[in-house]
Amino acid sequence: MDTAQLIRSVRTTARLSLRELAARAGTSHATLSAYEHGAKSPTATTVDRIVRASGCSTEIALTHRPAPAERRGDELRAVLDLAGQFPARHRPHLDLPVFGRKASP
């Protein structure tokens, strides 16, 4: 969820109009509308003020997202594990029909 969706969500959840929430948050309804439409980006402090003005609270959770290189390493590890399940040596002769030739009786 981006900031615009968050602000719109807290406003609609609180059943407030743009003007009502803007007045409670100490900003103009035009600015609040711009935030909701993604035309402007509020600071974290402003988002917190708007969220609190709606009667909600802000909670931030930090999570570790592996970097692309880490994800590639996991993929490579899985491929190598899979490759290890195949035989190390091939049979010198495969008993398969050759295309375009009739099988001999």
Residue 79 CA: distances (Å) to CA of 10, 11, 24, 68, 83: 45, 48, 56, 17, 6
**C-beta atoms surrounding 4 within 10 Å:** 17
Q: Is residue 98 part of a domain?
A: no
Check which CATH number belongs to the domain holding 28 and give it: 1.10.260.40
- Does any domain span residue 39? yes
Does residue 14 contact residue 53 with C-beta atoms inside 8 Å? no
Answer yes or no: is 65 within a domain. Answer: no
Q: Which residues of the chain have pLDDT under 70?
A: 91, 94, 101-105
> Is 77 inside a domain boundary?
no
Q: Residue 43 domain-assigned?
A: yes
* Number of domains the chain is built from: 1
- Residue 74 is predicted with a pLDDT of 82
- How high is the pLDDT of residue 104? 59
Boundaries of domain holding 9: 3-53
**50 is written with which tokens?**
């708007």
Residue listed under structure tokens 């003020």: 49
* 97: in domain: no
- Specify the pLDDT at position 1: 83
pTM beyond cutoff 0.85: no
